[in-house]
Structure 1
Amino acid sequence: MTGTEPQTRNTNQPRDGEVHRLEVTHVDHDAYAVDIRGHRLRVDQPTEAGGTDTAPTPTELFAASLATCIAFYAGRYLRRHGLPRTGLRVRTEFTMATDRPARVAALRVVIVPPPELPAQRRDALLAVASHCTVHNTLHQPPAVDIELEP
């Protein structure tokens, strides 16, 4: 594009359509480390499930991914419209299926908007937040291939 300033982007963040990579390595007992773009997260299992409870479970992070994605979209909506984000919260609860295969059976997400949010903006906030990437992925599941390295 001639006559415009060069476009810059975070080179650590792949563009849509590019491959996003992360790696999980065993730490100790049931604890694993997840390395993502220079960030490190941990997962573990509760002591009653045989872990040492040093970190959230993968399933808790799954629910947290949905909640944080919704919060991010809600926050961006508020910022785009010049509205405060102070007080924005998202609460999530989930239940596990009682039959097999092991899976999350239900998720409930509650957006607590900032107290100053005008009433006429509530429906739009909900609509925007419910179209976050993680929510969309749950409605249109990706192909998942699990393979063993040779």
Structure 2
Amino acid sequence: MEAEVHRLDVSHTGGDAYTVEVRGHRIRVDQPAEAGGTDTAPTPTELFAASLATCVAFYAGRFLHRHGLPRSGLRVRAGFVMATDRPARVASVRIVVVPPPALPEERRAALLAVASHCTVHNTLEQSPEIGVELAP
């Protein structure tokens, strides 16, 4: 059985801005003005960190829901640092899960364990094969 291929399409919209289309949704990316863009949207690197943070939030939220605990007040904060050498890349990402105020103390460790095993985190831990090619 072949694995399902999930597809998206990126198109240039002007300057350093691009639009990503995925399943009928549109996400815009740009670069800050100091990097030559017009700062109309997050950068691809910011969306990379946001992808990890939202995946952690989703897993945490599902854990809370499964256990009949409120998700109200659940937050996830992310910060990243760029590498100072080449190639250009993110050197580190720090994710902080802010649990809902009503979360019982004895559930905190389980929430963190589940949240830290989200799909994006697992992908970063076990790097996928990546192919970049030029269309004919």
Range class of TM-score, shorter chain: over 0.9
Shift of 1:94: 0.2
Q: Which residue of 2 aligns with 1:81?
A: 67
Matched, 1:111 2:102: no
Shift of 1:17: 2.5
Q: Which residue of 1 aligns with 2:118?
A: 132
RMSD, aligned CA? 0.9
Matches of 1:49 and 1:86 in 2, distance apart? 37
Q: Which residue of 2 aligns with 1:120?
A: 106
Matched, 1:94 2:80: yes
Where does structure 2 lack aligned partners over 5 or more consecutive residues? none
Matched, 1:67 2:61: no
Helix, strand or coil for the counterpart of 1:33?
strand
Helix, strand or coil for the counterpart of 2:69?
coil
Q: 2:68 is matched by which residue type in structure 1? A: G
Write out the 4+ residue segments of structure 1 that deviate beyond 2 Å after TM superposition: none
Q: 2:6 is matched by which residue type in structure 1? A: H
Helix, strand or coil for the counterpart of 1:72?
helix
Bigger relative contact order, structure 1 or 2 (CA pairs below 8 A, ≥6 apart): 2
1:38-57 CA distance string (max 9 Å, x none): 00000000000000000000
Matches of 2:100 and 2:124 in 1, distance apart? 26
Identity of aligned residues (%): 75
Q: Which residue of 1 aligns with 2:127?
A: 141
Matched, 1:42 2:20: no
Q: 2:34 is matched by which residue type in structure 1? A: E
Shift of 1:93: 0.2
| Number of aligned positions between the proteins | 135
Helix, strand or coil for the counterpart of 1:20?
coil
Matches of 1:17 and 1:85 in 2, distance apart? 33
Matches of 1:39 and 1:54 in 2, distance apart? 18
Shift of 1:26: 0.1
Q: Using structure 2 for the length normalisation, give the TM-score.
A: 0.98
Matches of 1:141 and 1:23 in 2, distance apart? 22
Matches of 1:36 and 1:101 in 2, distance apart? 28
Helix, strand or coil for the counterpart of 1:62?
helix
